[in-house]
Amino acid sequence: MALRIPDFNLIVVHEPGIENYGRVRNYVKQVLGDKVVYAYSYQSVILYRCFEDPHTCAEAIKRNAADTGIPLIKAIPVDAVVNADVDSVRGAIRGLIAKIQPNETFRITLQGHLYKIEESYSIRLSSSDAVKEIAKEVDRPVNLTSPDWVIYVRVLKIGLAEVAAVSLLKPHELERVKL
| Surface-to-core class of residue 119, CB atoms within 10 Å of its CB (0-12 exposed, 13-18 middle, 19+ buried) | exposed
How is the chain split into domains, by residue range?
Answer: 10-77, 80-174
pLDDT tens sequence across 92-144: 999 999 999 999 999 999 999 999 988 888 899 999 999 999 999 999 999 99
pTM of the model: 0.92
- C-alpha 27/C-alpha 133 separation (Å) is 38
Strands 45-50 and 121-124: unpaired
Fold of domain 80-174: VC0802-like (3.30.2130)
Q: Quick one: pLDDT band at residue 179, thresholds 50, 70, 90?
A: low
Quickly name the fold that domain 10-77 has.
Alpha-Beta Plaits (3.30.70)
Cα R_g (the chain), whole angstroms: 17
Distance CA 21, CA 63 (A): 19
